[in-house]
Amino acid sequence: MSFKSILPAFIIFILFFFSSVIFGQTNEWVGTWTTSPQLVEPRNNPPDPGLCNNTLRQVVHVSLGGDSLRVKFSNEFSKSPVTMHAVHIAVSTVGDTIDTNSDQALSFDGKQRFTIKPGTTITSDPFHFVLKPQTNVTITIYLGDTSPDVTGHPGSRTTSYIIPGNEVSAMSLPGAVKTDHWYIINGIDVVAPKSAGAVVLLGNSITDGRGSGTNKQNRWTDELARRLQENQDTREVAVLNAGIGGNCVTRNCLGPSALSRFNRDVLGQAKVEWLIILEGINDIGGSRGTDGSAKVAANLISAFKQMIDSAHAKGIRVYGATLLPFGGSFYDSPDHESAANKVNEWIRSSGEFDAVIDLNTALSDPENPTHLLPAADDGDHLHPSETGHRMMAEAVDLTLFKSH
């Protein structure tokens, strides 16, 4: 790696250092984007031509901006190493096209080529990059040998592009194969003022974005990030989406359970100040009989208490979001409804959470309270529509994030 290539990052850190000394300010790493990795199911694996010796371009939507970045990659669930010959980041313009003036090569321990061992994650060297809030950026990887079992995130709600050979710096990728999944990428951190902080949203497919529009960046987490950016008092709050479609809290459904991934996806994020928990419907939906549903509700409450205690020990404020209505869905049953009511009542009244975000009330149909509002229903009576995602974000009181 040449001195010229590291000079911009060196200069920016020198500026940060002197601003701290002269003005008494300090800057810290804060997560601006993340996705929760899992073992990708075979049906969601990369399509032909596959990843080996090919270029993979992926688009992500950040929340907070900054001038210095680091990018995280995961091979946590793979049994074989993954070699990245080159990795670039750039501002995304439209589709697979980038602003080539922003194109920046990443390094790892000073090298642009790096192999991720199975079961591990890596973070790039810090680098200078002008990142505006609410920006789409591409992470483009020219891969060598990869693992047949892939670590990734199936519910990307954004299109990725695969093309043969090394096209890591190409402005666009005509003829690329498209797939709506993420692979290998894990997170982006930015250097931000000490006053900045991140809120993690821990959840299942609803938080992951089911029902939002592909490439529209309008998951309820995105809508919340936009509201925070538009509000003068909360512009330094980043939003980190730790949702996994089909996820459960107390047992492994799709992806590792929320309890087992809590340290990684919540406590392991940079500068987390707040946590919103919206999860449990898949646990309830998988229960059987009156006794089984009651036991699951009790287990969820116990798990939430454990999460709250762990987060509080790290100085993180924890907000409980009530489970959404699901009447008419494939989870609908009297036993499941009873269990959900028990969990929601505990969230609302136990006093265990630092605050409650009552999404159930915000999205329920006043004429049929066990059902989603028709406008908020994606059609399966379980997942919110694009309107529903916006309503969820609008139900969050931004004053919860004004001071920390």
CATH code of the domain containing 389:
3.40.50.1110
Pair of tokens at residue 266: 């919540």
| Amino acid identity at 216 | K
Report pLDDT for 26: 76
* Same domain flag for 237 and 267: yes
Which residue's structure tokens are 């209505």? 325
pLDDT in tens, 156-214: 999 999 999 999 999 999 999 999 999 999 999 999 999 999 999 999 999 999 999 99
For residues 183 and 116, give the distance between their C-alpha atoms in angstroms, rounded to a whole number. Answer: 13
Whether residue 244 lies inside any domain: the answer is yes
Whether residue 24 lies inside any domain: the answer is no
* Same domain flag for 214 and 183: no
Given 133, 155, 187, the domain boundary residue is 187
Whether residue 145 lies inside any domain: the answer is yes
* ∠ Cα 391 393 398 (to 5°): 130
* Same domain flag for 370 and 303: yes
Q: Which residues contact 48 (CB under 8 A, 6 or more apart)?
A: 177
pLDDT surpasses 90 at 322: yes
* Same domain flag for 300 and 322: yes
Average per-residue pLDDT for the chain: 94
* Same domain flag for 183 and 199: no
Report pLDDT for 14: 52
Given 187, 208, 238, the domain boundary residue is 187
DSSP helix/strand/coil, 210? coil
* Same domain flag for 255 and 328: yes
The residue range of the domain holding 147 is: 3-18+35-187
Given 134, 154, 187, the domain boundary residue is 187
pLDDT in tens, 341-366: 999 999 999 999 999 999 999 999 99
* Same domain flag for 382 and 254: yes
Report pLDDT for 15: 46
What's the structural domain count of the chain?
2
* Same domain flag for 208 and 347: yes
* Same domain flag for 228 and 354: yes
Q: Which residues contact 80 (CB under 8 A, 6 or more apart)?
A: 118, 145, 146, 147, 148, 149
- β-strand 197-203 against 237-243: which pairing, if any? parallel
* Same domain flag for 8 and 140: yes
What pTM does this model have? 0.93
* Same domain flag for 272 and 385: yes
Eight-class DSSP state of 250: S
* Same domain flag for 153 and 225: no
Whether residue 233 lies inside any domain: the answer is yes
